[in-house]
Amino acid sequence: MDEKMTRREALRGLFYAGMGLAVGGPLLKSESARAAGMSGPWDEAPDGTKIDTRTWDKMGETLGLLGLGCMRLPTQRGSRRLDQEAVNAMIDYAIAHGVNYFDTAPAYGESEVVTGKALSRHPRSAYKIATKLSNMGGRATLEAGQQMFENSLKNLQTDYVDFLLLHNLQGIGSYNTRFRDNGLFDWLLEQKKKGRIKHLGFSFHGTNADLPPLVDLYDWDFVQIQLNYVDWKEMSRGWGAGGSSETNSEYLYNYLVGKGIPVLVMEPVKGGALANVSDGVGALMRERHPDLSPAANALTFVGSLPGVMVTLSGMSNMAQLKENVSLFTGFKPFDEQDMAFMLTVADLYKSKGQIPCTACAYCMPCPAGVDIPGNFRVFNSASDALLSSDTGNKEIRDKRKAFLKLYNAQKKGTRADACVACNACLPKCPQHISIPQHMQRIKDLVAKI
Ligand code: SF4
Ligand code: SF4
């Protein structure tokens, strides 16, 4: 493939995009990972299988189509501390099956340290590290940014980062404050020249209109966006707050493909929300693809888009990893009809009024002690019943009771009723969820039930 994606290829993507979707022949080269695979006695799966890969010649990289997101790694029983042994086992399994992209960040707590320990037990050539400059929340000086980068290298036990992302850019304003005005971006370019950063990109959480000015700033090697079948046409702000067709994965994806920039995808399962769909949504998917779980449907939607280089999934246990590895080994992409079908599933999903929380915990800690993602998870477990006016229906009544039980099982002081509407969480949420408004509504619902 030429230095950049050819114009014809880009147009092919945009042709499908005109129908709302991009499927068909790969814009990136796909091949059996085994053919491009790594060797070594420790990195072979017993049956020799490996996940599919995609190659982007401009970068000179061949990456597994599935990447391991290290934001939700397994924790020790009864503790928030990460379980090093469990992480080691997952990373060993992943590498043995051709997963070679590992995504972490200083903002993910212990993740860098634990991931670094697990990865450093393997040859450095067997894996690619992606980490971020998470200089949000008042850490935007040059020195703080430099320190954060050096610390990442130390945590990850390496002297270079394969993929460095400017973390959580929402638009040109956040870029200017966090990277331009303090000289940090220039410093990062120097590190790239020195080979301490192989590829430079950013993770994006702004609106459609915010993306082009950021893309124009630099010849980015890649961009990471939120993409899943529910957000394809519009990213919802959650129940009662409506959605915004001004922000949608379809536009972001097609814009980047049109520019020849490889797309890395985060939140393909929306922080796990698309793995735990309501009975009706699950039944609709099962009817068409009896062998695919709801999470597998969501991941297949993303992997079927030919401009996607890596589908990152934040896996929390070995069972999830095994299911995902199996899905991406001899990956069977959806055809155009399947992709269109997923958009009808998205409509049904949205009609259930869920709060689109991905449990990223960027909004935490709440100064009043509210467990924000915890309350949203409890609400989402019964959102359709809670928002229904059909209180005569036994199934709905039972679901409401189950919700109440879960709500009350949360520790006192962490429930929605502890929210004092201080708004401190609002600017931190990359999903732009009206958190205090939702807490008030949950509080009202509980009182009503
Ligand atoms: S608005 Fe409510 S949930 Fe958000 S930080 Fe303030 S008290 Fe916590
Ligand atoms: S409310 Fe927003 S910031 Fe908080 S966990 Fe959910 S998605 Fe993340």
The pick from 376, 425, 437 for probing ligand 1's pocket by mutation, whose C-beta has the most ligand atoms within 8 angstroms, reads 425
Please state, in angstroms and as integers, the Cα–Cα distance from residue 192 to each residue in 59, 186, 264, following that order. Answer: 13, 10, 20
> What amino acid is encoded at 165 in this protein?
L
pLDDT score of 30: 47
pLDDT score of 45: 66
Strands 128-133 and 243-244: unpaired
Domain 7-350: state its class. Answer: alpha beta
Q: Which two tokens stand for residue 364?
A: 């935490």
User: What is the 8-class DSSP label of residue 364?
Assistant: P
pLDDT score of 247: 87
| Closest ligand to residue 364's CA | 2
Q: Which atom of ligand 1 is nearest to the CA of 426?
A: 4
pLDDT score of 240: 61
pTM of the model: 0.84
**358 CB near ligand 2 (under 6 Å):** yes
Q: List the residue whose alpha carbon is closest to atom 1 of ligand 2.
A: 357
Q: How far is the CA of 434 from the centre of ligand 2 (A)?
A: 10
| Closest ligand to residue 426's CA | 1
Q: How far is the CA of 131 from the centre of ligand 2 (A)?
A: 20
pLDDT score of 245: 56
Spans of the chain, pLDDT less than 50: 1-27, 30-42
Q: List the residue whose alpha carbon is closest to atom 3 of ligand 1.
A: 419
**360 CB near ligand 2 (under 6 Å):** yes
pLDDT score of 280: 86
Q: List the residue whose alpha carbon is closest to atom 6 of ligand 1.
A: 422
204: nearest Cα among 245, 255, 242: 255
pLDDT score of 31: 43
**Alpha-carbon radius of gyration of the chain:** 22
**354 CB near ligand 2 (under 6 Å):** no
Strands 29-32 and 52-56: antiparallel
Domain layout of the chain by residue ranges? 7-350, 372-448
- pLDDT tens digits, one per residue of 137-176: 777 899 999 999 999 999 999 999 999 999 999 999 999 9
Q: How far is the CA of 103 from the centre of ligand 2 (A)?
A: 19
Preceding amide of 212 cis, omega within 30: no
pLDDT score of 252: 97
Query: φ, ψ for residue 55 (rounded to 5)?
Result: -115, 135
Beta strands, E only, 39-179: 52-56, 61-64, 66-69, 101-103, 128-133, 161-169
